[in-house]
Amino acid sequence: MKPVSIFAIPSDLPQDERMKRRQLLARLGFAWLIMMQVMMFAFPGYMRSDFLHSESLATLDVAIVVMNWISLALSIPLILYCAKPVWAGLFERSINGSWINMNTPVALGIIVSFVPSVIATWTHRGEVYYESIAMFVAFLLTARYLEYTAIQSAKFSPSNVDPLLEQTRQVLSKKADKVAFVFIVAQIILAIVTAVVWYLYIDQSHSIAVLVALFVMSCPCAMAMAVPTASSAAQAVFLSNPSYSNDQKEKIIQETVHCANQNLYGSLVWHLLMTPLAMAGIVAPWLAAITMLISSLAVAWNAYRLYKRLIKETEMHMVLEMVN
């Protein structure tokens, strides 16, 4: 299964899997389209300053009100259609049997940013977070699409998956799920406590922004991608040369475990480093969404580096064998 790009749907996938991937890709494209529009409509809000001339300020305020209503209209299909997988998976039990799963912080982040934005749009007072919602959903779907393509490429490989690699993948997946669960619970509690502290003791008007930023950063997208991307890279290496010896396979699997751990704990450290900045009110919600995307892309890139390095080592080994 070697499509032209990750956006091409392989023809040898089962029909239901092709349909799922096509639907996810449609949601992803629509989310990015809405995100670009909402970010454009949010621009007048960033230009507003009390130092502007009174007439210019009045005109800008009218423009902001109109743009907020348009952003609200665009956010509704974004939340109901593009983010549908979030709502569908919200009540699925996690690996620990808890109702808290990877969709929980995403749903909370969308709700706590959308409701105040609607109120601010209706009353013409307060901050709106439509661009943060749009970026959050678009970046989230990007990470999940990368994760889903990695899972598909490993699960529906044209040849059988190596048993040792599959066993290793299952062990790593369970560990990653447990780490992500602890991270999610800790981040949700921390977000709520921090928002309450901001509301009561620091700045009431900025407490929602801090809460939204922390909820966005609590999304463990990169952690969810850690194992699928690494195992998919290893499976692609195995397919490139079916004649690997058992010792060579064990070495590749060791490299895969190392890459998966790098992805998992690297993304965890990244989020933990950014969390204090969000608690201090330095990281805006839209910037939190970007940090989430960066960690997800870093995980995908690290898995790709693993694939390229192993392929290069294989080619060098084959050349040496031919020479000898």
For the residues 74-84, what does the mean pLDDT come to? Answer: 96
- Copy the structure tokens of residue 173: 């997946």
For residues 231 and 169, the answer to whether their CB atoms sit within 8 Å is: yes
Rounded CA gap, 59 and 47, in Å? 12
Mean pLDDT score across all residues of the chain = 86
Residue 278's identity, in one-letter code, is: A
pLDDT tens string 167-204? 898 899 999 989 988 999 999 999 999 999 999 999 99
Q: At CA 309, angle to CA 160 and CA 262, rounded to 5? A: 85
Percent of the chain with pLDDT over 70: 89
DSSP string, 196-210: HHIIIII-GGGHHHH
Rounded CA gap, 256 and 240, in Å? 16
- Distance, first Cα to last Cα, the chain: 33
Output phi, psi for 2, to 5 deg: -130, 85
Residue 126's identity, in one-letter code, is: G
The domain segmentation of the chain, as residue ranges, is 15-323
Q: Is the pTM of this model over 0.75?
A: yes
Rounded CA gap, 278 and 256, in Å? 33
